[in-house]
Amino acid sequence: MRYCDTCKVKVSGASRQCPLCRGDLSGTADPAEEVFPVIPPLSAPFKGLVQCIAFGTIAVAALSVAINIALPTGGVWWSLFVIAGLGSLWLSFLVINSRWWDIPKNIFLQLFVISVMVLLWDFFTGFYGWSFNFVIPILFSCSMIALSVFAKVRKLNGADYVMFLGIISVISIFSLLLIIFHVVTSVYPALICFVLSIISLAFLIVFEGKSLWEEIRQRIHI
């Protein structure tokens, strides 16, 4: 490592001049010396926990199949529902992991994925209508509350507000259609979802109308 007698500092690398005073350096440079510090590779957070959960998932699935075969219940393969449930949880986890930095889009993707999985579960278990009557309206209501809290806490920009407005509008129309076309037999969850969507939409327009209008003007080039 070279040394500057004027600045009293050590200088790494092959340079013959001090970067501070431009004076000559004394000593000899070591060719094997690293100019920049060695940064260790980043380890994936919670890697060990994810591996344990993955191992537990496989173990539970295997035990379910083994118990189902050892203790037959009249040809009912209930272990397939256990495996499907574990697969649904992992699908939801993968969606979260792929968009963990973008909370509004993550909530929307989770809303779509879980709604599809709930509909499939309802269909393959006899379609008793619990998906439309309870789960999906409650899921939509919770997503609107989560998006509203996130929008207020994080102070989203205009583009995010436009996306938020679109999500609220779709939820509002969907919940109203469930009631109008008598898809649901229990009206209250869908009605609560519709009311929450209107309140959230009104909140955005009244308190963030200027930001929304500016973003809309930029997008449609007014």
Please state, in angstroms and rounded to a whole number, the distance separating the CA atoms of residues 206 and 204. 6
| pLDDT value, residue 128 | 85
User: Is 0.85 surpassed by the pTM of this model?
Assistant: no
Q: Is the C-alpha dihedral spanning 72, 73, 74, 76 positive or negative? A: negative
Lowest mean pLDDT, pick from 11-15, 115-119, 139-143: 11-15
Please state, in angstroms and rounded to a whole number, the distance separating the CA atoms of residues 133 and 144. 18
**79 has a pLDDT exceeding 70:** yes
Lowest mean pLDDT, pick from 58-67, 96-105, 115-124: 96-105
Neighbours of 170 (CB within 10 A): 14
| pLDDT value, residue 68 | 84
